[in-house]
Structure formats: structure tokens, C-alpha cells
Structure 1
């Protein structure tokens, strides 16, 4: 790989702490602290994303690159660092946070001029580790590696994963925070993004009263990541905030489209570029449930439940607006922009649902249809992805019980089948009003509804296999996630088996890594 081409423009732009000290501490008036990865002597490669490496300009993997993948034996030109940010966690102000187990190598530019940041996750403690060790375990690393790539191929804005490797050491973790810590295999994942800047970076500068540094960060962000903004002075900051609101709303709509639940939408986990970032206690939706959260830490309030994600994004944007107010200085504008968020989000959401159902466009009566559908999905406990797959195949002669029983997590008795039949008739009536052909409607559905999603039980099985030295399922899942709109592996296109209903790592997860 061409790791010698990695540069650190961020370090040249902003004040930082160059002490290379991993001990937890406050770092006021700086945006980063230099820190060296801990270094691992016996790494072992699990997976490498050759296509991504070529795309971002790193080139092909060679055996000598293995140590770099875990942050060891770095070239002299690389000055590694972690960034400081703040945030609201579960609705409460948490103060200074930062890259607790993420260390940035820097930025690389490919032949087309596209810039990509490269970051290790699990390579050691930083000043922002909050009494933790900065390591990561195999299960969390596999989940991030596979899921970020799955989201990319689904067409959802996301960070991506370059590599996955064992560190050669064991790490102790209490997976369910119940007083039963155990040793697990350590791992490091390299993730990439155009930028890892978060809402929290701006919140930190505001909280510290560093308004000039806040403005410099805004200017840097606009100049490097928002080329569509060509205005100047106050207008460019307003255009920036409107753009962030739109990108965030669009991301939420994409999460709803594929049935993704993030699990921990704190403001420090919100990308300023509208990317899916920080794959922790996430889940793809099995049975449709607006009140589902996979995160045990989010119980009992379920602040970050599936159906609340648009609402929480809106709340998080309010916190960002508050942080930017000293620069934008137009409270009325900020309030109006935030008020328009809900209007834009719900219209985009309903237009997305139209595509999932094969409708030609959004009609006034569709809002009532969608609400009826949501209620039915929850009452019948139908699988979100498989329901639409079966809906694509339905005909006037279809036996509803035979056709939908395999996608229901409850028994479809006579009463429930009756309700399902009534819905199907309503759906057919709505299709009849389409201005597009049946073939065009079906094609729209196939482009919008994935055949494969990376379910937690599949990840659980994959992690178990890798732990036992096998990679067959990892390879197979990688092939499946690269073509999610094709029925390539029928054995993966099935509802969650009942024996996984109460297994930690399948139905329930924690924030523990």
C-alpha cells in the first residue's frame, strides 16, 4: 500500500496537543492530541477490502503492510492523532469527549483528487478514552467491518471499512454490564470516510467559548467538504446549516428504507456530512416495530428506537444550531430551518415508501395508507425486508397464508389473515391508480427493497466462526452484502430463527466493545 502518501492537513490548520500522552485528560482550546498507537507484535489479517484500497489511492495490499493495519511500524512521515469533541449522550450534556479508541493516520488523495481520512479503531488509548483501554474486541470489529460495507452497497451514506485484523492479544470486557467480564480476542478495524467530523466537534468549541476557533472549523469544513456552497460571509454559514439538515434528513430516510436502527444517536455520533458513523449496538430490523431498540443501554426509555430516529435527528440538529449561533447570529433563520426539517423529512420519508410499494408518486391519501400499513406490520409481526420481497411476488391467485407465513414472527390465524387480505385489496386498489406500468412499478420496488440485509444473527454466527479460525461465512457474507438487491444466497433471506430470540448479540446488545 502507498501509506507514505498519507498526510495530516488537519494538524496544520488547528491548535493541538503534541505531547503524545495517552493518559486521560482535558485538552482545552485544542481540537486534537497527537498519540501513538500502542503497537501489536503478532497481528493476523482477517479481511482486507482490496477494492476500497484501490479506490481511495492506497493500492494493493502486500504482506509488509500487515503491521500498518494494526497501527504498528509506521513510516516516519505519519503523525497520528485523536480529536476532541463534546456531545449530548441520551439527552444529557456529557462535556468533553473525543476519539476514545480511534486514532487517525491522516488523509490520502487518490488520482481523481478525492480525499479520504484513514482511522484505526481499537489501536490503543488516547487522552479521550475516559478510563478505558482504547482496545476493541473481535465481535465489535467484525460488526463494524461488515455492516459499514453492507450499508455502502445498500446505497446508504456511511463510513467504510478497509481492513480487519487480530491484534494477538486478549481484551477483557463485560458484554452485558452485569458483573461477568470475560477475556475476548482483540482486533483492530481500519475505517475510512471523507471526514470524521461530528456535531460534537462544533459543540466542544461552543462550550469552551472558542468562537474564533469555531468559525475556523466551519470555514475548514465548508472549504473541504461542501463544494456546493459558493456563497460568502454570513450566507455561507447559513447554507452550511441548511445543507447539514438536508443531509441528516436524507440519511434518516435511508435508515427507514432499509430498516436500520443505529441504537445510540448521541450528538457525538452524528456525522456533519450526513454519514452513518459509529457502528455500536445497531441492528437491522427483523419484525417491524417502531418502538424497537437493540441497545440494552437505551432501556427502558427507548430514546433511540427505530421510529424515533427522525425525531432524534431533529433534536440533535437543535443542539448543533445552538453551537453555531455565535457564528450565524440569526436566531430566526435557525428556528425556521429547524421547523422546516420535519416538513422535508416526512415528505422525503413518504416518497421513499412510495418507491418501496411501487407507487408512481406521493398522493394525498397515501399518508393514511402508510399509517394503516405500519399498524398491520406491528400487529402481525411481519419481517420488514421479507414482507416487501413477498409483496413483489404477489398475484391475484396467491394463497396469503402460504405466501406470508414465512415472514411472520407470529401465527397468522384466520383473523390476522383477514386483516392482511383487506390490506392487500387496498394495496391493489392503490396500484390501479398508478400512471406507470406494472413492470415499471415492480422495477421500482426491486431497486428500493433489498433482498439481503446483514441481520444480527448472521453476524453472531460469523463472529463465532472467526473466533474458531474459520472464514467461510465471512467470505460468503461479504459476497452477499456486495449485491444486496439480488437473491444470491436464499439461505440468508429468511427471518431470524427463534433460537436466537434472546441471545446477546442477536436481539440485544450493549454499548460494550
Structure 2
């Protein structure tokens, strides 16, 4: 471990970061013990919590020790593309931009409530250097993670962090450890044919969507900051031979863990079973506290929980009309959080065949297939675990996997009962949900605004078929010949809500049916302005999406709850970023 810290120190000296290179910072209590910061004299976890937010990065540090002490690191120090074996991480430093770097946006919530940083820190040059990959935080050794994965159903072999650097872990005042990762920060041994960079348009989408999903209540990674440079990056956006010069950008992403199904698959396929067991035990110990780490059935218990959590995540995605776009096993978190935002999309007109990714020619990852892909990916996880399972455990694991469809359907039904304002359960709820979605599909009604406007309309208005003009999405559904019949059944079901009122029903529904989601046209509008160095709409969207369930004057003025503009019909999003 001290070898890598020495390498880190020498690298910082080469960059000229003398003020960050004090040995007492590098090898101090932040690296080897958190007790200095998190325990007071009574040896309880109150000391640091009582402190104010950190106002200078000179008093803030990260640590890579938990990874360096636990796993073997790639012994090859040179940064070139290669087949990596017998390790979990390669030590590799970000590549600083050559040109000026601008701060596009920051998440105040992430800075202050996850990273303990006062928001004023984001205005400093040191912050800009750190989040763009130009400077390393004391105590950190940047790492690139080795993993594999099934891409579009086919085993792709070694993949890994081809343009991302894990710059360290931070344990905050609440005792929660978060892993910080730069995306778009340069080449690694896993870059394959890539340049290790991300472009501004895709980085804006990732920054905005990861934060938007959090405020929608969907388990997700977070985005702390977004910076853009003047460095040129060449991209063939739609794989049609038309290369365009774009600007390189970096997102600082934050998650409890970046391990994914592909992390275990790579080790299983390489027959590195000792490392597979080590990584799996680490994941259970660190991220699954309810699993008895000493039990001989711990891997089975772990698998059962991942199955349940994946079913929950897939149900939550569909409840807000979210399609990930690239549900490969290397993009599926072991913690069942949403990661790796690429060609995602929020469905507008309700359509189970909605495909957000123009690169997905066969529609494998269409929104109506995501639940099934979840089961496919869990099956690949089980295959990776199989070398560590006894014959009896394998049999039980298959039984657990067979229960996934019921877990998904039950959670789906629960979420949509709430979206429709139902209290409790009724035997006809499934029929009412299915019929309503069918009406929306037949009329191509907007998914988000139909549910939202159903949340805002009164029962008397529904009964009289008196739908206001501004309820454009609900009026689209109302043209269906079966809509009035559905309304009769719906109102009868609402009568079963004991101790309820129409006011309570509307209040309850508006708390779960968003008025604003990150539609492609909204992101595209912000991107076009950002490419002209106007970041106002990026910041407006960030502000609006923090309160997706509340009507906001600025959002209404921008048309975020109106019909998508006609030019948006031709928008395309691909894997190229």
C-alpha cells in the first residue's frame, strides 16, 4: 500500500501541487483512521457531526486504503490498453485537460450533505482542478476498475472503466462512505479503442438525469459536478461516418459502490475464483449489512436480496416511464441503483415498444422489456456465483430466480395502485391498471402528464366528462371509446378508499406523479445552449428537477409541462458519448 502512496506522491510533485503534497496530509489520520474525524472524546460518532461544513479543500481528503488493503492491484504501472489479470483495480491517473476548464453545474445537496463541503468551495480553483482530473486529493490513489459483461446478450469479455477513475472514498459526518468517480477523465488500461473522454452533451444528460432520478425517489448514483473544457473530442454520434469535433467534459459521480454484475462475471469467466470469493465477501461485508457474513449460506442470501432489489428497481423505472437504454450486465449495479446514464429516455407517448437508444436496432432494451432483461442479468449473476455454490445452493438459487416475475409484478401493481390513488388492495386493481395503460397506448397519450392530470382533476369533473382544456394529455385519453366505461369503474374503486376525500386523493397522487421529468427535448434544448457557452438552461433544469412533483412558475414558463415541441419528434440518442 505504501508503495502506491509513494507513487501517488511523486505524481503530485510532477504536477507541481506542492501545497497538497505534505506527508502529514498524505499519510495522516484520513488515510489510516477515521476516528480522528468521527469520534469525540467520549468515543461516540458525534464529534464531526457537530462541526460546520468544510470551507477549504486543504482540510478535506479522500482515502483509497480500503481498496488497496483488500485487493491486489494490477502490478503493471504503465497506462496502456491491455488484458488485465489477477486484480480488481489498476492504478492509473486522470489525464488533465490542456485547455481552460469551466464549471457548468454543481449539486449543492451532494456537496453539503454527502461530501461535507460548503457550497462556496465550488467557486475555488482547487475544486475545479480536482473535479476535472487535474489534481488528486490527498490520501487518494486513483483506480480504474476491471470488469466484464454481457452486452446486448453476448459475452463481451473484459470491459472495465475505460474513461472513469475512482479517485477515492469519503466517509462523511453521518458515517456513510461514498465512492467518488470521475467520468470522462482520460484513458485507462480498459479504454480499448476509446480516447477516455466524454463529451459535453452526454455529460449534461448524465448530470441532470442522475440528480433528477434521485428527486423522483429512484435509487441512483449522484452527480456532484459537471465541468467542460475547450479540448476537442471527435465523435461519430450516430455511427454514420460523420465525425464532429465536440468539447470534452467530466462529471464527478458519487455512489456507495460502483461494483456491478460484470465485476463478478469477469472473475468467474477468468476462473479467478479466489478473487471472486474475495470480492463477493467484500461486497457482502461492506454493502449488505443484513446478510450474515459468517454464514455458509451468505452467497445465497446475497443473491436473494439482489433479486428482490432488482425487481424493485425495474418497477420503479417503469413507474416514472424511464428507459435505461443499455441494460447490459456491466451497467447493472450489485446494489441495484441506477448507474451509467447513456442513451436513456423518459417515455412520452405511452408505448411498451419505446426504445431510447438508436443503436439498439433490435429493440432489446425497449421499455416494455426491461423487467425481462432484469431477469436475464440476474441469471448471468447466478452463473457467476455458481462456482462458489454447493449443488443444494444452486437449486435454491434457481428457485429464488423463478420468483423474480412475481416480485416484479407485485411491486409494479403496488406502485401503480398508488399512482391511481387507490388505498389498500382490491381484486380488480390489476384490471383497472391494465385497462388504463391500454387506453393510453391506443391514444398515444403522454405517460407523465396523463397520470399527473388524473391527479389534479376532481372526481366530479371526471364523472361529468368535464376535462379542462389545459389537461391536454387526459383529453387525449378521453377520446377513446372505452374511456367513460373506465371512469365508471375507477370512481367505483375510489369509493372503496375508506376515510378518504377527493382532496386527499389529489394531494396523495400529486406526491407520486411528477409534473416534470427530463424529457429528451428539454435536455437537447439545454445542450444546444451549453454548446454556445450558455449554461442557464442546464441550471434551470437542475433547479426544476429537484422538485418534480411541485408546480413551478419558471418550469411552466419554459413549457416543461406542455406538449413536446414538434421539432422534438426527430431527436435521436445513441451510445456515442
TM-score, normalising length: structure 1: 0.94
State the distance in 2 between where 1:279 and 1:426 align.
39
Return the offset for 1:417: 4.0
Q: How does 1:312-391 map to 2 (within 5 A)?
A: 312-329=373-390, 330-391=393-454
Q: Who is 1:501 aligned against?
A: 569
- Are residue 54 (structure 1) and residue 115 (structure 2) matched? no
Return the offset for 1:485: 1.0
Q: Who is 2:535 aligned against?
A: 471
Q: How does 1:219-368 map to 2 (within 5 A)?
A: 219-230=281-292, 232-299=294-361, 301-329=362-390, 330-368=393-431
Distance change in 2, residues 1:56/1:298 (3 Å): same
Distance change in 2, residues 1:206/1:425 (3 Å): same
Distance change in 2, residues 1:413/1:232 (3 Å): closer
Q: Who is 2:69 aligned against?
A: 12
**CA contact under 8 A between 1:171 and 1:183: conserved in structure 2?**
yes
Q: Who is 1:126 aligned against?
A: 188
**CA contact under 8 A between 2:307 and 2:404: conserved in structure 1?**
yes
**CA contact under 8 A between 2:445 and 2:476: conserved in structure 1?**
no
**CA contact under 8 A between 2:116 and 2:173: conserved in structure 1?**
no
- Are residue 35 (structure 1) and residue 92 (structure 2) matched? yes
**CA contact under 8 A between 2:284 and 2:293: conserved in structure 1?**
no
**CA contact under 8 A between 1:351 and 1:361: conserved in structure 2?**
no
CA RMSD of aligned residues (A): 1.8
More displaced, 84-93 or 434-443? 434-443
Return the offset for 1:113: 1.1
More displaced, 144-153 or 242-251? 242-251
Secondary structure of 1:296's match?
Answer: coil
**CA contact under 8 A between 1:290 and 1:306: conserved in structure 2?**
yes
Q: Who is 2:472 aligned against?
A: 406
Return the offset for 1:436: 4.2
Return the offset for 1:413: 10
Q: Who is 2:30 aligned against?
A: none
More displaced, 478-487 or 439-448? 439-448
State the distance in 2 between where 1:76 and 1:331 align.
45
Summarize deviations over 1:72-103 as a string: whole Å, max 9, x none: 12246321110111111101111111011111
Q: Who is 1:209 aligned against?
A: 271
Structure 1: which 5+ residue stretches go unaligned?
none
State the distance in 2 between where 1:421 and 1:110 align.
54
Return the offset for 1:474: 1.8
- Are residue 492 (structure 1) and residue 570 (structure 2) matched? no
State the distance in 2 between where 1:33 and 1:201 align.
14
Q: Who is 2:486 aligned against?
A: 423
Q: How does 1:149-228 map to 2 (within 5 A)?
A: 149-228=211-290
Secondary structure of 1:496's match?
Answer: coil
Summarize deviations over 1:212-246 as a string: whole Å, max 9, x none: 21111111011111112235332222111111111
State the distance in 2 between where 1:149 and 1:447 align.
18
Q: Which of residues 501, 518, 522 in structure 2 aligns to 1:454?
A: 518
Distance change in 2, residues 1:499/1:261 (3 Å): same
State the distance in 2 between where 1:428 and 1:272 align.
41
Distance change in 2, residues 1:427/1:114 (3 Å): same
**CA contact under 8 A between 2:477 and 2:483: conserved in structure 1?**
no
**CA contact under 8 A between 1:21 and 1:126: conserved in structure 2?**
no
Return the offset for 1:394: 2.5
**CA contact under 8 A between 1:82 and 1:102: conserved in structure 2?**
yes
**CA contact under 8 A between 1:360 and 1:436: conserved in structure 2?**
no
Q: Who is 1:393 aligned against?
A: 456
Q: Tell me which structure has the larger Cα radius of gyration.
A: 2
State the distance in 2 between where 1:25 and 1:361 align.
56
- Are residue 103 (structure 1) and residue 165 (structure 2) matched? yes
**CA contact under 8 A between 2:351 and 2:441: conserved in structure 1?**
yes
**CA contact under 8 A between 2:74 and 2:85: conserved in structure 1?**
no
Secondary structure of 1:451's match?
Answer: coil
Summarize deviations over 1:141-186 as a string: whole Å, max 9, x none: 0000110000011110000001101122010001110010100111
**CA contact under 8 A between 1:142 and 1:164: conserved in structure 2?**
yes
Secondary structure of 1:248's match?
Answer: helix
Secondary structure of 2:262's match?
Answer: helix
State the distance in 2 between where 1:404 and 1:425 align.
23
**CA contact under 8 A between 2:204 and 2:538: conserved in structure 1?**
no
State the distance in 2 between where 1:313 and 1:487 align.
34
Distance change in 2, residues 1:38/1:20 (3 Å): farther
Aligned residue pairs: how many? 505
Q: Who is 2:45 aligned against?
A: none
More displaced, 33-42 or 227-236? 227-236
Distance change in 2, residues 1:139/1:19 (3 Å): same
State the distance in 1 between where 2:312 and 2:331 align.
16
State the distance in 1 between where 2:255 and 2:60 align.
16
